[in-house]
Structure 1
């Protein structure tokens, strides 16, 4: 049969146009998010389900997040790490059922993209939680592998066998329709089967997932549990896991550049473990453990907590991610008030703000967890409902109710017959109406919210504080002195964590006092200062629980 050459030419031309159009469309989906300068270089972590509800069903959603963009801007943050938003089996999202779709409770894919667009247009970058250590046991790959065993294309996506693994830690089984008992490895839980990174096809799938979401528009990724990509127990196979994590870092950096935000959750306080994952940046668990253990100060606190972060071992522009709170920990303010200070709210709150000032003075991208900025309380339970109490609804209103207030936990607690803290009534174990812990109650005055707003915006106002080099001038129990330098600008932050003993520091001539916080004795105040630059070197007394910020241009 003869083919008309003109017709063939037309078909080929149209095909090329379609391919180019599709490629251009994909490229247009992702442009680098422009962060207005100066920026705070501060990341905010949130669980969408608990944040802000746009449709009145009590569940936070994409549209709700977009509606709070002005709140984020007032707070001063310029990056949001979203806990998982893929379609998942559980409320927390760490058991993914579909890597290419969003959680229906949060809205549609189009609503996700609209949220992304609004955040990006307002100079806020979006970091996606990439959960690829394991999937849900309801993921189609896993279901196919269980049903079809060795003939399934996904059999080797997991660590599976028909051999009896009774008595072996972290091995579980499911029965398929043929009556076969299929054994599989799942470190975290029987509902979370581990993916098999010994299979190269799994890494190729991970690359596809990364490419998909980067082209959709996310600005970076938080890697969940990379410490456990390999190995058979919690501290097993770390070297091999680090090799896998470095492959992912190399792929992302090589393809998308050094400005991508990428950080791994290596849940370990040992610097020698964290360092193995370089050049993949990781959250600084060493800092978290050190500051929580030495909240009233300790000699060499920062030396022990941050000196292991060697800039020469990283390629990405952002490589240090210090934090104090996250979704897996007892909320820090609860630990301080309830445990460390035996119910003394004032002293616990003072120490909470002082330790967070240290966090926000560090180089890198300090990360705060939603609700920390209002002192939201929460303790993990050692039984059901486990971690849910530290992931409860963000509190917006004095009365715990109003437009956008989430309350998804209420029905969960009712179903579990949990009445502690009236949780079955308001969905919050550790929050009550009129308790001072809400955005509405903290809009004015010397509040936790305004402390966070002011300090984060100091990072925005003074580039040296957000992206300058760091020199620790003093690292004593009763005096931390941090010097940050960016171009011709220098910032000096003096913090005394000690509740009893003062210290002194010689502030060089030319520095100007621009901000303070006094929590010593009965004081509880903070705010800007507008003093003239010092005409000479000045011996400055830093009393217990005081903060001073100086600038030199």
Structure 2
């Protein structure tokens, strides 16, 4: 193992920067990049899929907003509803309808050091199943130049194409009850027939985990209490992580076979477990036969499947990584292959329950509209969860295009609050409250404390399992599905930071082999097991209305309630290094004096008196109190 690096505590400002860099893959979240990106957006013509409603129903008009930071004084929107791509220039459409967008206002922006103008337009109501495609142009009434949102193209043909679909598709109900376990296949378990991991020369090598190993551990998941497995990419690939695919239709032989995947899905379903695959539509390996053919022959049918800036050696990639050429999903044959021949096949032939979608901002919203429609057609109960790297506006723009998106912003906030104490209680509560209200209740935001692209939580917390337990208690008592990254529940951490002083990432240090047997931390496992059982047994934790009850920055204590008909759960957290004696006001959530609150973690009982519950918590601990609530009707 590499020698452990001893890290020094940093100031809150430095700590927050470090967590942002760790939490958001590719450095998107560093302050300098955020500022530079914001300035570029403000300077140009920016729509960024801002529509209201974000998921239009039949018969609803759609409001479209765009900002203009330059000197253009006219904005036109061109749209079609017949499947063709809209084209237009200077307010005149060649094959589409046109909407003259009206200026709604302007504001001064210090970052731009100039004015930003806002424009609004209305697309008329459409019927069920209609796909609306549109482009937006800003132009000068007294000049010839134009700019199209969002890629700042100067001609209609190369402008960003936006899209939405009018439908009544809904989130699969099983997803709201999901407790998801993320498995990095190569690092999980080799199998009962050969249970020992290999010992590669470096952590980026192959450790020998297999699909059969997952099959052999299905009882482990059932005992833990999770009900959905998320598998890292298991298609043909030359790497340990599998995100550089060379064959989208074949399981990587190191991991098993297509029949192994089919058997895993079947046996998981028989045991009450769902299975979702990590799906990579944005890029392939540079060793993929399609890319090799495109490089070898400009006349190849696969040339247009990629974007060459200077054939054959310069091309669009994923974050500048030359081994990951980006697919051109706006090319119709590429799109149809990825959606119809790949995604639809895994749903129909292998009965997987959905996908975690890698790097969703890569393909366009237009692509995701088609992907979502087709996958729901093949498997109406399937789940599509996107990896949306970016801010809340970026995440929210996929409402109606996907079932939901991984909550990177919660990950960042939880790591800052629980692992590093870089946020106050008030700041954390404010984030949770605003975060909940900013998104549609129909959109799913699975939460996580760590994943394969970031330092593990325990590494950030200097191995303090009390902090992990407290963070997990919070995670499991918020409405959206929790994700457990393999090994977190048994104390798996790492030996060095994934961010090197040189600026290079070594993400494999957060992907070390799973702990088994006596290497596992049994107390931590039992804690997670208890959280899974509690969450599954109490609908208020999955579907309840959340209310903040207590916030104390000085004491580091925090309490909130979740309510459904007939049940109130009160969550109390002590995020300090001191024993805390606190009084939690509960009258506002319907708990009257004399009612008894049962502690689901310890079995203790508390009586409501003078509208409060009084209790004492050890440092870095928390608990969940349950009380029936006659004010909300019969118990659910």
Which of the residues 338, 341, 347 maps onto 1:206? Answer: 338
- Please state how far the C-alpha of 1:97 moved relative to its aligned partner: 0.9
The residue matched to 2:576 in structure 1 has which SS?
Answer: coil
The residue matched to 2:286 in structure 1 has which SS?
Answer: coil
Matched, 1:308 2:435: yes
Q: Alpha-carbon deviations, 1:397-419, whole Å to 9, x = none?
A: 33xxxxxxxxxxxxxxxxxxxxx
Residues 62, 33 of structure 1: alpha-carbon distance in 2 compared, 3 angstrom cutoff:
farther
Q: Alpha-carbon deviations, 1:422-458, whole Å to 9, x = none?
A: xxxxxxxxxxxxxxxx23xx34xxx211111111111
- Please state how far the C-alpha of 1:486 moved relative to its aligned partner: 3.3
Match of 1:160 in 2: 308
Q: Aligned equivalents of 1:88 and 1:244: distance in 2?
A: 24
- Please state how far the C-alpha of 1:33 moved relative to its aligned partner: 11
Match of 2:405 in 1: 282
Contact 1:300 1:476 in 2 (8 A): no
Contact 1:496 1:542 in 2 (8 A): no
- Please state how far the C-alpha of 1:184 moved relative to its aligned partner: 1.6
Written as runs of structure 1 = structure 2, the 5 A alignment for 1:320-335 is 320-335=445-460
The residue matched to 2:517 in structure 1 has which SS?
Answer: coil
Q: Which has the higher contact order (CA 8 A, sep 6+)?
A: 1
Q: Aligned equivalents of 2:525 and 2:177: distance in 1?
A: 16
Residues 357, 34 of structure 1: alpha-carbon distance in 2 compared, 3 angstrom cutoff:
closer
Q: Aligned equivalents of 1:480 and 1:156: distance in 2?
A: 55
The residue matched to 2:297 in structure 1 has which SS?
Answer: helix
Matched, 1:191 2:191: no
The residue matched to 2:221 in structure 1 has which SS?
Answer: helix
The residue matched to 2:431 in structure 1 has which SS?
Answer: helix
Q: Alpha-carbon deviations, 1:280-323, whole Å to 9, x = none?
A: 3111111111121222442041431463345874656xx12111
The residue matched to 1:213 in structure 2 has which SS?
Answer: helix
- Gap runs ≥5 in structure 1: 1-31, 164-180, 230-240, 338-344, 399-437, 517-527
| TM-score, reference length from structure 2 | 0.62
The residue matched to 2:546 in structure 1 has which SS?
Answer: strand
Match of 1:45 in 2: 182
- Please state how far the C-alpha of 1:511 moved relative to its aligned partner: 4.4
Match of 1:224 in 2: 358
Q: Aligned equivalents of 1:533 and 1:124: distance in 2?
A: 39
Written as runs of structure 1 = structure 2, the 5 A alignment for 1:23-38 is none
Written as runs of structure 1 = structure 2, the 5 A alignment for 1:508-527 is 508-509=591-592, 510-516=595-601
Contact 1:301 1:475 in 2 (8 A): no
Q: Aligned equivalents of 2:552 and 2:372: distance in 1?
A: 36
Q: Aligned equivalents of 1:532 and 1:547: distance in 2?
A: 15
Q: Aligned equivalents of 1:211 and 1:300: distance in 2?
A: 43
Written as runs of structure 1 = structure 2, the 5 A alignment for 1:470-485 is 470-477=546-553, 478-485=556-563
Residues 87, 494 of structure 1: alpha-carbon distance in 2 compared, 3 angstrom cutoff:
same
- Gap runs ≥5 in structure 2: 1-170, 198-207, 629-636
| TM-score, reference length from structure 1 | 0.71
Q: Aligned equivalents of 2:465 and 2:440: distance in 1?
A: 37
Contact 2:347 2:378 in 1 (8 A): no
Q: Alpha-carbon deviations, 1:160-186, whole Å to 9, x = none?
A: 2445xxxxxxxxxxxxxxxxx443211
Match of 2:513 in 1: 393
Say which structure is richer in strand: 2
Match of 1:60 in 2: 209
